[in-house]
Structure 1
Amino acid sequence: MRVESVTRLPEAFQRSVSAEQITAMAQRAFGPHAPVVSAVELGNGMYNNTYRVEPAGQAPVILRVAPEPGRQNRIERELMRNEHASLPYFAPIAHMMPRTLAVDFTHDLIGRDYLFQTMLPGVPAADGLAAYPRSRWTSYFRQMGSIARRVHSVRGPRFGPVAGPGFSTWSAAVIACLEDTAADLDDAGLDATDVRAVAEAAARDRAVLDEIVEPRLLHGDLWTVNVMLDPGATEPTISGVFDHDRASWGDPEADWTVHMAGQRPGAERDTFWESYGTLSATPEGALRRLFYRARHIGAIRLECHRLGRFDDVPRTYDGMRLVLDGLHA
């Protein structure tokens, strides 16, 4: 079997798996008479290790391997299990998503969760968009708004990650996430004073958060890096959506997709709102979005540190300072 792994520093967070491990995983998933011809690690993911695996006589599939449990942060714990639990709720866009072929959470073989999925056709949007003039990107963001709206139409039983823990109120879910983020930053040796200040403000403004009473499905990571494009289309056309491992129940305005759509106003992504709709125009809605922005910034700070992008960490403190200024205004 030919194996190509991404070259990383020894201290890197992601750790490739061996040819022997891939063989064992494939045989458990597809049987002992399905040898693997090749396994090529894809380097565009930042959490799981992802491989394009070609079993003999079969179409290529995707293998995703989660980090060891002891290396997972609180806000990123058992993301693959959360993704697996949330899959049935993405029924409105099921035709755009990969099919799960096999899942193994036993840790018998490698001490890590892993799963095999069908390989989505198309090209990653992060690469495919460059093939079109920017004037045509408007249709892409309009499609993104439509997809996000369909996801957010799904109602849930409680707040928090789909696989749990669950919360009876939205404020409890938001505060718990902020507190877990602060604890993770402490573990990483980073200053979390500003995140704790936001958590305290959220506790004071609990009533504003609890105006959200109906949990809705949030993808958690729906943006350019997690969609595929039809390579033959005359304009950017989304053909696939993947990586919903951060799915949760909450306020749609808290989703990463909505956060990203609001960046760089006046550019092509403004067309997102044409299909998605508008956000709450009330002072309470604006206040909630400050708490949501803090959640995203805290997660970005942790991810930058985890990936060794240390030069990007200081910017998160600048961003959080603006959030705190807004909360104190």
Structure 2
Amino acid sequence: MAHQHQQKHEHQHSGLHSPISEKVLHALVHNHFGDHVVVKQFGLLQGGLFNTTYRIQLEHTPITDIILRLAPEHVQHLPNINSGESAQSDPLFSFERTMMAAEPVIYKHYCKAGIPAPEVLFCDDSGLHVPRTYMFMTFIPSVQLDHSSIGAVDKEQLYTQLGTYTAAMHRIEGSSFGWPQADGSIRGSKHWSEVLMAIAEETSRKAAQIGYMPGVGEEITAVFEQHKTLFDQIKQPVLVHNDLWAANVLVHGEPGKMSIAAVIDGDRSMFADREYEAILNTDSATFHTGYGCLLDPSPDGQARRLAYRLLSSYFNAYVHQHQVDQPEDGQIFEERTMALLLQWKQLGLR
């Protein structure tokens, strides 16, 4: 009966960020930590638009302060990167369906490279206990890098440290371009252009289904179709976080002695061109000091970075307008996309 209750409860929420019932939360805790464990208290954490996150205090177990994160609901059908299929009713992108299950693999890469990462206690994508991928992690006492309590001097030093960790991440090599999977494989292609085209095509298909930004998706897809050789100059895939900004960096310590506690939310990570990492566009001099590697100054390098910004902006426009219901941000990304598309056309590449 408990399983039926979970299913029923889950389907009462159609949004991506869907809470679970107290009964389901207790069942998940007892399933992984044992029936003797007591849930002392729990609370839904704010801020996430995609995953649903709880902080839970436990008794009668060695680890008493934990995080539970749940991905959006499972669907039966997963489109293939190269098939041209599209799950029309599925609000998520194909890579988003497997990304939480791959997170433990990504954090193992981080730890091996000396990058502080969250500790994953359990990750379950079986759908047996609740029709969603979910994970338990240890809670990290910390604040986010954009917290108002962090002084300017500390912030500069933390950005230098973040640059150093980002460089270490970009030295983690993959056997192909694309998305890490739970079994350690990579879903993608040996050709960087094909992975970029897959993102552009899937975004374009989803936008076309709802009549959003008509014709723009086709123009952006053509950028990657017509300039394959530009992108395929990149031969070595490396791990990029793909969502690296201040809110996904946890810091701790006293003023004057602060350090990065963990780089979090690595579930959107990809094996890609290192310059696909959007934080490399930052004007933070201290970040670049820590990163210690110049961006490709050639016309080809500049063109690739412009194309990456264009694709990212288009993807974010769709996501904010139609996936997470943030129309004001969606409008900003929509305008940015059109400006970047014009900038690309002005390059006059043949």
Q: What is the match of residue 3 of structure 1?
A: none
Q: Distance in 2 between matches of 1:75 and 1:186?
A: 19
Q: Which of 169, 178, 184 in structure 2 is aligned with 1:160?
A: 178
Structure 1 residues 188-227: Cα deviation after superposition (integer angstroms, max 9, x where no partner) = 5522522321210111111010000001011121221111
Is 1:270 the equivalent of 2:285? yes
Q: What is the match of residue 190 of structure 1?
A: 212
Q: What is the match of residue 340 of structure 2?
A: 323
Q: Distance in 2 between matches of 1:272 and 1:187?
A: 40
**Could you tell me whether the CA contact under 8 Å between 1:125 and 1:225 is conserved in 2?**
yes
Q: What is the match of residue 318 of structure 2?
A: 302
Runs of 4+ in structure 1 deviating by more than 6 angstroms, as ranges, are none
Q: With a CA cutoff of 8 Å and minimum separation of 6, indicate the structure with the bigger relative contact order.
A: 1
* 1:311 shift after superposition: 2.1
Structure 1 residues 15-55: Cα deviation after superposition (integer angstroms, max 9, x where no partner) = 10111111111111111111211121111222110111112
The amino acid that maps onto 2:170 is H
Q: Distance in 1 between matches of 2:142 and 2:55?
A: 14
Q: Distance in 2 between matches of 1:126 and 1:112?
A: 30
Instruction: Flag the 1:50–1:94 CA change in 2: closer, same or farther, 3 A.
Output: farther
Structure 1 residues 230-283: Cα deviation after superposition (integer angstroms, max 9, x where no partner) = 141316532221110011111010013324x2xxx4xxx222111212100000
Structure 1, gaps ≥5 residues long: 1-9
Kindly tell me the number of residue pairs found equivalent between the two proteins. Answer: 311
* 1:292 shift after superposition: 0.8
**Could you tell me whether the CA contact under 8 Å between 1:171 and 1:206 is conserved in 2?**
yes
Q: What does 1:1-329 correspond to in 2, within 5 Å?
A: 12-58=15-61, 59-70=64-75, 71-93=91-113, 96-127=116-147, 130-134=148-152, 136-163=154-181, 164-187=186-209, 189-191=211-213, 193-234=215-256, 236-259=258-281, 261=282, 265=283, 269-276=284-291, 277-305=293-321, 306-329=323-346
Structure 2, gaps ≥5 residues long: 1-12, 76-90
The amino acid that maps onto 1:193 is G
TM-score normalised by length of structure 1? 0.88
Q: What is the match of residue 5 of structure 1?
A: none
* 1:95 shift after superposition: 5.9
* 1:176 shift after superposition: 0.8
Question: Residue 331 of structure 2: SS of its match in structure 1?
Answer: helix
Between structures 1 and 2, the one with greater helix share: 1
* 1:11 shift after superposition: 6.4
Structure 1 residues 111-169: Cα deviation after superposition (integer angstroms, max 9, x where no partner) = 11111011122122232xx1234354322221221111010011110001112422010
Question: Residue 66 of structure 1: SS of its match in structure 2?
Answer: strand
Q: Percent identity?
A: 24
Instruction: Flag the 1:126–1:93 CA change in 2: closer, same or farther, 3 A.
Output: farther
* 1:327 shift after superposition: 1.9
Question: Residue 189 of structure 2: SS of its match in structure 1?
Answer: coil
**Could you tell me whether the CA contact under 8 Å between 1:92 and 1:150 is conserved in 2?**
no
Question: Residue 187 of structure 2: SS of its match in structure 1?
Answer: coil
Q: CA RMSD in A?
A: 2.0
